[in-house]
Structure 1
Amino acid sequence: MSNIPTTVNASGISSCKLSSNTIATSLHVDAELIAVTLNNGSIHLFQPNGKHITELKAEKPVCLWSLAVKDTVLIAGGIDGNLQVWDLARRKFVRSLKGHTDTIRSIHIPDPLSTAISGSKDGRIIIWDLKLGKHTAILKHESQDAIRTIALKHDAAFAGTYAGKLIRWDLSTRQCRSVLNAHDGVVYAIVVGDEEVFTAGSDGSIVSWDLETSTQNKRVNAHNGPISILRPTDRGLISTGFNGVITSWSHDLTKLWSVKAHTGSVTCLSFNSQIVITGGVDGKVKVLDLKEGESRDDVLEGVESVWKVAVFGDRVMVVGREGGDATVWTVPLRSLK
């Protein structure tokens, strides 16, 4: 059981202070569980209502930088290149998967549940057998550039590198299909659609690529500064980054709306069918109308910085720093109206 208290104010906003001198590095939210990783090696589990359940910590804690959860399996990736596998049903550490030699930046658990795929700054994409506890393949590429992000689509795996490349593999053959010079700088985000792939990078551009031919469809200069977040919406895409601007795009990369929401970098973004929630280094949590981009009141006050946000059901989860402490807030959507 948890010994970390959760307090609730008159507006129904709950808060839970985790620890001092730490930052949140990843956040997972689903209908049954919320998981937060910290740079001190802790994994905190919460109920969907924001009540703290427990803290998971390996025998030799290491800064965790990536997270994936599926059913009762939680996998966290550290700066030491190891993957921690946890059994959520028993709240027990299962094993460490060793194969990377640098920070693990991205983890996916595709169907079936018996496999996982990880991407690291060591330039490797590794496919793991979770039952056997060992890797079954290493996806190779000619550049060996450090991996920043990975995305999956059916039988294809995509990686964006720190050197600006977009790399594609065929998962059935484990062969590299293409290596594209996508951006001048880091590829921060990849969105895979039905017929095209979108990338966003530190050069401030968004690029549309043909999924079959791997040729460029369109490139737009989207932001005055690096784009760190790119997400798919029903209307197209939403992007943000270091300049504090949130922009909505159609599928053909026509700008729908653009709003200056933060002073400084936007660190996180989440949305549902009606609203967009963003957090930034300025300590603000902004609410925007998804269709028109109209800004609403700030969600919280007195926050020093915001690291992660997530809209789920009738709540918004916010992870940030208040009074020097890593803190988790659960905000009812009704309080935003």
Structure 2
Amino acid sequence: MTDTAAEILLAEPRGFCAGVDRAIDIVEKALAKFGAPIYVRHEIVHNTFVVNDLKSKGAIFIEDLADVPPGATLVFSAHGVSQAVRTEAKARGFSVFDATCPLVTKVHVEVAKLHREGYEFIMIGHKAHPEVEGTMGQLSEGIYLVETAADVAGVPVKNPAKVAVVTQTTLSVDDTREVMAAIQARFPQVRQPKQQDICYATQNRQDAVKVLAPQCDVVIVVGSPTSSNSNRLREVADRLGTPAYMVDSADEVRPEWLEGRQRVGLTAGASAPDVLVQAVIDRLRALGAISVRQLPGVTESIRFPLPKGLGSGPNA
């Protein structure tokens, strides 16, 4: 990457979404209001830099509520939690602030409503992902996980006429389409969400990569390995035939990725802060990039309110 035409193209939108902004804000405001430590169940968002930054400010990340002392302040991560976790947190007497992304909460509300109407559920998602565990955990039975189209054949529903679908919000739109087609083939009366569960930010970032990748010789995605939506961005670029790599930090960018490549595409997952993107730009400049150009894209203006007790309004 030594030619003077070497250029970095920035996807738009990229980086933080409203749900991630809100979740981080909840932890920071809880620290400011109640002082350290603030306990957080699971990583607040799946980004190493963000988690380490909050640790330095006094957040303690735990998986087991038994590790939280009585009377402590506890924050649920953006991915959401099961009903069992909510019940346990209440029984232990914690002061709880819920940082579950409102779009994930929407899925939980839909599951509860349709369950009351007698529906069973097929959930499209990745096994062991905390968002999937949280959504599956809204019910004690009658919700089945599928990861691929092939999984659909083994779903043991009792009444094929009363089946509804929910999805993990951070999946690939294309992956979901394939699985959905298999579900519709087996359950023609399946009930789909009124609005697709895949979140606006995931959709927008994937669409931006579909514009970006064909214009580039290589794509770099800023995101942590645990971040589902970041992994999907890399896969979207890869599927379009552009070599794509994911990095947690600028020092992971390898010079050999850039050899003979004149145009580098750069994007970031919804949990990756802009400071990491800027550090990657600096690294690419050090390796020979001459210019940076942002592609046009969707402007995101959505904002989610903070829970009562942390906001700045009259009920705070």
- TM-score in same-fold range (> 0.5): no
User: Higher Cα Rg: structure 1 or 2?
Assistant: 2
- Tell me the TM-score range normalised by the shorter chain: 0.3 to 0.5
* Bigger fraction of residues in helix: 2
* Bigger fraction of residues in strand: 1
